[in-house]
Amino acid sequence: MPITYTSGEQVEVYRFGIPITIGVPLLALFLQAFVPLRYPRFAVYIDLPLLVTIFFAMARRNPISGLLTGAVIGLAQDMLGHNPIGIYGIAKTVVGYGASSLGVKLDVENAGARLLVTLGFYFVHSAVYFTVARGMVNMTQTWSWSRGLLAGLANAFLGVILYFVLDKFKQRT
């Protein structure tokens, strides 16, 4: 599994067109809200906005861009629910910052690295979400390791496929 250290000069930095920058997160939010109507388990195991956040953050390799992308997508996801706005926002801000910082230092272009990175950031996201939800909002939350691991793997595998599709929209800077 070649996770290699590269210098900043060797790492490719990508950008995306405005339609992709707006359309893909919007599509992810839409699917996240619509698919559970037909497949209720989807909302339990899959977090498409998280995968999109990780992808954009890793591809742009700019921490500020990554954290802002995460914040915007997370806040939008909060707005669709009824819980206080900011819980997903904080969690995805951290993930966006972390993924882009990691993207600067590591080569995350191959499938294996992407799988591990996505799995890791899924747990980071869950940890931040639960901490904020329980600590700040006083929401009752339960954590199941088996379900969390299953959801992490499901997101990681789906992420690898999704990143492969989204790679087609990358533009070299």
Element (H, E) at 171: strand 171-172
Name the 3-class secondary structure at 5.
strand
Binding mask 17-56 for other proteins (x = CB under 8 A): ---------x--xx-xxx-xx--x--xx------------
**Binding segment (CB under 8 A) for other proteins, from list 106-114, 140-148, 153-161, 162-170:** 140-148
Which two three-digit tokens encode residue 150? Answer: 């299953």
Give how far Cα 148 sits from Cα of 9, 36, 131, 153, Å: 37, 18, 15, 9
By CB under 8 A, name the one of 69, 93, 118, 155 that touches other proteins.
Answer: 93
Does position 94 interact with other proteins (CB under 8 A)? The reply is yes
Rounded to a whole number of angstroms, the minimum distance from the CB of residue 74 to other proteins is 8
Rounded to a whole number of angstroms, the minimum distance from the CB of residue 44 to other proteins is 5
Beta-strand runs (E) in 2-99 = 14-15
Q: CA 4, CA 93: separation in Å to the nearest integer?
A: 25
Does position 124 interact with other proteins (CB under 8 A)? The reply is no
Cβ within 8 Å of residue 99, ≥6 positions away:
53, 54, 57, 58, 66, 117, 121
Contact present, 70 and 114 (Cβ < 8 Å): no
Does position 132 interact with other proteins (CB under 8 A)? The reply is yes
Rounded to a whole number of angstroms, the minimum distance from the CB of residue 84 to other proteins is 4
By CB under 8 A, name the one of 57, 59, 76, 156 that touches other proteins.
Answer: 76
Place of tokens 């199941």: 144
Does position 139 interact with other proteins (CB under 8 A)? The reply is yes
Which residues lie near other proteins (CB under 8 A)? 26, 29-30, 32-34, 36-37, 40, 43-44, 63-64, 67-68, 71, 75-77, 79-90, 93-94, 97, 101, 132-133, 136-142
